[in-house]
Amino acid sequence: MPTITLPNGDTKSFDKPVSARDVAASIGTGLAKAAIGAKADFGSGGELRDLGSPIDRDCRLEIITAPRPNQKATADALYLMRHSAAHVMAEAIQDVLGKDVLLAYGPPTDTGFFYDMFIPEGKRFSTDHFDAINARIAAIIKEDRPFTRYEQPAGEALPRLNSEGNKYKVDNAERALGLPSSVYKGPKAAPVASTSDASSLRHSVTPSLSFYATGQPGKNWEDLCRGPHVPSTARIGAAQVLSLASSFWHGDENADRLTRVYGTAFPTQAELDEFLRQKEEAAKRDHRVIGKALRLFHIDEDVGQGLILWTPAGSVVRKELQTFIAAELRKQGYTEVFTPHIGRLDLYKTSGHFPYYKDSQFPPIVERDALNALADAACSCSEMLRRVEGVSPRLAAGINQRTGRETIAPDRVLPDDQLIDGFMLKPMNCPHHAKIFASAPHSYRDMPVRLAEFGTVYRWEQSGELNGLTRVRGFTQDDAHLFCTEDQIPAEIQGCLSLVKTIFNVLGMKEYRVRVGLRDPDSGKYTGSKESWDKAEAACLEAAASLGVEFSREPGEAAFYGPKIDFVVKDVIGREWQLGTVQVDYQMGPRFDLSYIGPDNKPHRPVVIHRAPFGSMERFCGVLIEHFAGAFPLWLSPEQARVLPISDKSNDYAARVLGALAERGLRATMDDSNDRVQAKIKVAADLKIPYLLVVGPRDEENGTVSIRARGIQKDLGALALPEAAAALAAERDTRGETSLAARFA
């Protein structure tokens, strides 16, 4: 006798078990027609299910519908369609390539779905097959075959899967049943069995497995699957295969290598086309492509992977951005410092960076004399490593005493004369800044001390991770460390957030969100007292809430030394980019034995806030290149205006125009090549120069320039030279709030 509560609060009672389809039909035929699935909540959260699955208990029920025309699909609807589309794509692939392609795992994702599969040895699968596969996908959708669910007892289903010879499906089935895997022997083999009470889990799991046939069981294509699916293939709308990649079974690099086939599905072909158009648009904005075309930066094999050479044009963008940020920092009471790119190994042993994170650092720079001495003594490499990574008894005593926690393995504590000294390229700026703080006594009256540095750091990113400007091995953080009292934490976090807000606004990045990384309540890995954490987390959450943008709490995402706030911005075409963070750190004070004198005339530990709200200049510039598609606002543009004489008869006047622009400090050039003006415009347009000032005899006579603005494909009209120069300077100085082009609007 289920009583069903609908999203609007209405209830409906039935005298026998019903399906969501029945419920939808009882409400209206329109709803029943539009329904593609349901979300039922029996008291433990909403759960997507098939339209036809039986409901025998009271629940809250939401009917998931396909979107009406001109309406966006809900996330739940897309989930159902894409999960279903993954089956259709898999069937299409098996039709094209053969049944010996073994299917492994095919979930929906944020933008589509993928299916991991094993392609048998000797079989080729390439993008050449895509047309055939897409044709099959379209045909299957058109056939409108029902997704038919049936269950089979585990005792029958498991042997059946085994006999089909697909170990990946056997593994899926075993995991679904809560059994330890008989075929996969990796680190992530049996996550369920590792929980505290495996036996109760066994009982709670249904002893049967579900399959979905795309059509009639036994007749049409079918797949082991938990579901749910849309009622029939036509309800998927439009789907297609997109790309191929490789993956590992269970993400375990020692396990089988699988082929991951990406695809996507949308309710209508128009939406799918729009998605493809956006992908194309995104590809055109690729900062690596634009960076090359506009000569913004260069990566040279001889210099090294992931090391950016900023060419003159790109240096302008980076420098302007940095100047802008630095001016905002000064307004907020930051003081600027400079520190070197390397520091002694002991410094990083104190900070804890070395050797714990040695895999993500450049190897140490060892002093020549020490190396020679070791070579003379025929020292082995492993011995050398031990001596580089070792810690002196003095340092060990200090670290243990200060933190009261860290245990240094006894075999790492070596007598001084065995240790090899050396330097490290700095992976972070904080140790240097801590030493600056510690170099002078501090009173609570001086606090907070805000040390800012565009500090360049070096990290050994895995080679496969490197990517243009967004993932590099040497980068300059917009770094600062705020040494403050606990009471000052909220205001300082607030300050960081307001800085971010100011700068994002000027750059037109209106949409962004923050993630607040909090403790994992079940873990004991964190340093600092519970009270401190409570306060710091509250401060982060409060600051995030006050920002007036979307924020999420992410338990377990805190660093071990304190909570953090991450910034995620959306660019103009809606892609999200993770930029910088603000992190509260209780660890650094004790480690570097930092103190300030409080009102009680006693020393106190400062808390340190690390903040690099834009991450790194490299990454941020990369994001901006894509955000603006290389068409930077005037103040950031490498070349702000170009003077185009229509023939060399006007070159002298053009030079005078250029002089007037230079007097205003504008970055401008003139094109005195013997091209025609049409060609000069084409060249300048390709370089995305904001303004072109065309000058000919007419202009010379009137003392004017003819103005053409980027993106507006016509002559806007003439303006007196001094007026035009002043307007350009004003557009720069207001960072676009006033603009020359707007005068002609």
Partner RNA sequence: GCCGCUGUAGCUCAGUGGUAGAGCGCACCCUUGGUAAGGGUGAGGUCAUGGGUUCAAAUCCCAUCAGCGGCUCCA
Binding site for RNA (CB under 7 A): 243, 245-248, 251, 253, 257, 260, 286, 288, 292-293, 299, 301, 305-306, 353, 357, 360-361, 427-428, 459, 461-468, 559, 646-649, 673-679, 681-683, 685-686, 692, 694-699, 706, 708, 710-711, 713-715, 718
CB 674 within 8 A of CB 648: yes
Active-site residue flag, 21: no
Token match 């008869």: residue?
649
Closest of 705, 700, 702 to residue 717, by C-alpha: 705
Q: Pick the closer one to RNA by CB: 2 or 630.
A: 630
Could you tell me the two tokens for 332?
A: 């907020």
Q: Pick the closer one to RNA by CB: 199 or 713.
A: 713
Q: Tell me how far, at minimum, the Cβ of 707 lies from RNA, in Å.
A: 7
CB 736 within 8 A of CB 635: yes
Q: Pick the closer one to RNA by CB: 7 or 697.
A: 697
Q: Which of 82, 481, 611, 642 is catalytic?
A: 481
Residues 6 or more apart whose Cβ sits within 8 Å of residue 587: 352, 403, 527, 528, 560, 561, 562
Q: Pick the closer one to RNA by CB: 213 or 707.
A: 707
- Sheet containing strand 607-612, edge to edge, reads 335-336, 449-458, 474-484, 607-612, 576-585, 564-570, 512-518, 551-555
Separation between Cα atoms, residue 705 and residue 691, nearest integer Å: 11
Q: Tell me how far, at minimum, the Cβ of 427 lies from RNA, in Å.
A: 4
Closest of 90, 101, 37, 105 to residue 214, by C-alpha: 90
Active-site residue flag, 656: no
Measured from the Cβ of residue 486, the count of other Cβ atoms closer than 10 Å reads 17
Could you tell me the two tokens for 299?
A: 């990566």
Q: Which of 87, 450, 459, 688 is catalytic?
A: 459
Q: Which of 610, 619, 627, 688 is catalytic?
A: 610
Q: Pick the closer one to RNA by CB: 95 or 671.
A: 671
Q: Tell me how far, at minimum, the Cβ of 159 lies from RNA, in Å.
A: 31
Q: Pick the closer one to RNA by CB: 235 or 459.
A: 459
What distance, in Å, lies between the first and last C-alpha atoms of the chain?
68
User: Which DSSP helix (H) or strand (E) runs through 331?
Assistant: helix 312-331
Cβ burial of 563 (10 Å; 0-12, 13-18, 19+) is buried
Coil, helix or strand at residue 341: coil
Q: Pick the closer one to RNA by CB: 138 or 466.
A: 466
Q: Tell me how far, at minimum, the Cβ of 285 lies from RNA, in Å.
A: 12
Active-site residue flag, 610: yes
User: Which DSSP helix (H) or strand (E) runs through 24?
Assistant: helix 20-27
Active-site residue flag, 477: yes
CA torsion, points 553, 555, 561, 564, in degrees to nearest 10? -20
Separation between Cα atoms, residue 21 and residue 211, nearest integer Å: 20
CA torsion, points 487, 491, 497, 499, in degrees to nearest 10? -130
Separation between Cα atoms, residue 646 and residue 698, nearest integer Å: 10
Coil, helix or strand at residue 250: helix
Separation between Cα atoms, residue 477 and residue 459, nearest integer Å: 12
Q: Which of 225, 430, 540, 621 is catalytic?
A: 430
Active-site residue flag, 418: no
Q: Tell me how far, at minimum, the Cβ of 197 lies from RNA, in Å.
A: 26
Beta bridge partners of 13: 3
Residue type at 262 in one-letter notation: Y
Active-site residue flag, 430: yes
Measured from the Cβ of residue 719, the count of other Cβ atoms closer than 10 Å reads 20
Q: Pick the closer one to RNA by CB: 42 or 248.
A: 248
Q: Tell me how far, at minimum, the Cβ of 454 lies from RNA, in Å.
A: 18
Q: Pick the closer one to RNA by CB: 181 or 650.
A: 650
Q: Tell me how far, at minimum, the Cβ of 682 lies from RNA, in Å.
A: 4
Report in angstroms the alpha-carbon separations of 548 from 489, 518, 541, 723. Answer: 19, 20, 12, 40
Separation between Cα atoms, residue 392 and residue 374, nearest integer Å: 18
Q: Tell me how far, at minimum, the Cβ of 462 lies from RNA, in Å.
A: 3
Token match 């090359």: residue?
292
Q: Pick the closer one to RNA by CB: 10 or 701.
A: 701
Q: Tell me how far, at minimum, the Cβ of 377 lies from RNA, in Å.
A: 30
Active-site residue flag, 94: no
CB 564 within 8 A of CB 496: no
Could you tell me the two tokens for 42?
A: 């029996």
Could you tell me the two tokens for 536?
A: 């710091």
Beta bridge partners of 247: 258
Q: Pick the closer one to RNA by CB: 603 or 697.
A: 697
Q: Tell me how far, at minimum, the Cβ of 720 lies from RNA, in Å.
A: 13
Report in angstroms the alpha-carbon separations of 477 from 197, 343, 430, 480, 638. Answer: 46, 17, 11, 9, 22
Q: Tell me how far, at minimum, the Cβ of 27 lies from RNA, in Å.
A: 40
Reported residue count of the chain is: 745
Q: Pick the closer one to RNA by CB: 232 or 616.
A: 616
Q: Are strands 54-55 and 603-604 parallel, antiparallel or unpaired?
A: unpaired
Q: Pick the closer one to RNA by CB: 148 or 704.
A: 704
Separation between Cα atoms, residue 632 and residue 624, nearest integer Å: 8
Separation between Cα atoms, residue 532 and residue 520, nearest integer Å: 15
Q: Tell me how far, at minimum, the Cβ of 643 lies from RNA, in Å.
A: 11
Q: Tell me how far, at minimum, the Cβ of 463 lies from RNA, in Å.
A: 3
Tell me if the bond preceding 722 is cis, omega within 30° of 0.
no
Catalytic residues: 430, 459, 477, 479, 481, 564, 610
